Chain A
Amino acid sequence: MVESGWVRVGLRLTTWLILGFLYLPLIILGIMAFNESRFMAWPPPGFTLGWFGEALDNPAIPRAFVNSIVAALAAVAIALVLGTLAAMAVQRFAFFGRNSINFLVVLPIALPGVITGIALSTTFQTFGIEFSLMTIIIGHATFCVVIAYNNVVARLRRLPRSPEEASADLGADTWITFRRITMPGMRTALLSGALLAFALSFDEVIVTLFTAGAGTQTIPIWILSAMQRPTQLPVVNVVALVLVLISVIPVYIAQRISGGEAAGARV
């Protein structure tokens, strides 16, 4: 189906409009980071770099940043392991309840965060588990499993089994085959899954709110608490802008990894 010229023009126009829509708040955000008014007045009465200085002075921000990174890394690691194990089980074996695994794995991300959050929080309190970075990680890992799982399942579906069989024929045991044949084949799937899961964990707020202790703040929690303090609004904008700019890096990496693969990672 060769699209007619008009259709192509129409599509290109629509694409630009939608991109504009997607980026409008981010552009406003960028402008607001320099807005002189403490209460986000529009149009900006003046511009200043002062908020950047305030952000640098604030010790809570780097602490929250580190917490977010550590939590995301740990959650992603756990999710990768659990997701890969489950994916291999589903792809390589036929067993009772196989179809339910798909379902079970996607549930934590499909159910509202407030329910997952309250459920986990109640459970932790019931068993006297103290809220800390660990409880945050548990929450995040749970809904990140599906991302690793989906990526690995999709990849395993496409990987031919013959190299593995050949490897076994040549005398390699299960571990060697896995390490030398299967893993390299999955590597890019794991990486793109890891990147998307990292983004999800880094940005998560609702489940985190329920599983974080009083003293542990991740960046989204810091943002939420700062948004509630009247004088911190401009600093929030600064932090947000910096985060958006930094995030170009992982997105670029994701694109390079996936190369020609459709849409990079599978959500």
Chain B
Amino acid sequence: MTTGAPANASATGPSRARRVATWLHGRPRTQLRLLLAAPLLWLVLVYLGSLAILLLNAFWTSDPFTGKVNPFDWSLDAFVQIFNNEVYRTIAIRTVGMATLVTATDALLAFPIAYYMARVASPRVRGLLVVAVLMPLWASYLVKVFAWRTILQGNGFLSWVLTPFGIAGPGTDEIANSWLVFSYLWLPYMILPIYAGLERVPRSLLEASADLGARARTTFRRVVLPLVFPALVAGSIFTFSLTLGDYIVPDLVSDAKFIGNVIYDNSSLGDFPVAAAYSMLPIIIVVAYLVVARRLGAFESL
């Protein structure tokens, strides 16, 4: 084995890059600090910092006439308003309920197609199916919602289909519309992780289960489901959190108000402290959800 000088050494000794590398080599903690500096600076300073500034507004007051925030005018008025008025609780429950319903719906819808893709379809069909499921993700979110609006409206497609049966179309102010459109929008986000999870289940495990005398149903319940569960939770992070904060879908296809609407309306109408205070609710919910999800192993299946 030759032991000549490395290619990037100049006549006067190793290059600067190499010297830095050597210096770093013995200092793993400095390496770590350098690696983490940029991402942490961005995420903590820019992102968390912005959140902190927003949440500070929750503890300030705003002028009832002009709507301007009075910074450093500490008060809990915004929180008092939210706790005293029942409507904020109603809206929160409605939103969390919708998010849960949408998650359950998407899980139910995603599983059969993901299973078919992962274990039944031939490799060629599987590739096509993955493309087919990914494509709607690329269509604009706004446009998809708008297309549903035209389908659901009074003289829209759905009405046209249902009229011969004597059923009226839903119109554009049913809360069920939101359920339908949310489930539609986030379905690919649920299909993909479940598909990935199912693909990872080794065939040998299923054969062993069969060898030990388990019927298909039992194998599914005791072997497949537990293995895929983290992937399901990973997918649910999206269906749940995306539904929790959305305000455009409820605005366009229904007339009901959700958490996102309250935050948006209050911030755009000038009661900023209330918007900021109410924002704490979805933040707490999402953080709690993420903690549970991580516990269940979802982060590895994302």
Show the binding face of A for B, using Cβ within 8 Å.
1-4, 7-8, 10-12, 14-15, 18-19, 21-26, 28-29, 32, 40-43, 81-83, 85-86, 88-89, 93, 95, 99, 101-108, 110-116, 118-120, 122-123, 126, 138, 141-142, 145, 150, 171-176, 199, 203, 205-206, 219-220, 223-224, 227, 236-237, 240, 243-244, 247-248, 250-252, 254-255, 262-264, 266-267
Contacts and interface: CB of A to CB of B under 8 A. Distances in A.
A3 B121 CA distance: 12
Contacts of B22: 173
Chain B interface size, under 10 / 10 to 19 / 20 to 34 / 35 or more: 35 or more
Contacts of B160: 42-43
8 cross-chain pairs, A with B, having the tightest CB-CB distances, nearest first: A112-B245, A173-B21, A247-B138, A240-B143, A25-B147, A119-B50, A89-B35, A86-B39
A18 B112 contact: yes
A82 B38 contact: yes
Nearest to A143: B47
Given A111-B282, A263-B193, A263-B195, A25 B151 contact: yes
B267 A173 contact: no
Consensus secondary structure, chain A interface = helix
Consensus secondary structure, chain B interface = helix
B135 A248 contact: yes
A248 B267 CA distance: 38
Nearest to A147: B302
Interface string B130-170: 11111111111111101110110101110110000000000
Contacts of A266: 196, 302
A227 to B, nearest CB: 6
A240 B139 contact: yes
A142 B28 contact: no
A88 B275 CA distance: 38
A251 B138 contact: yes
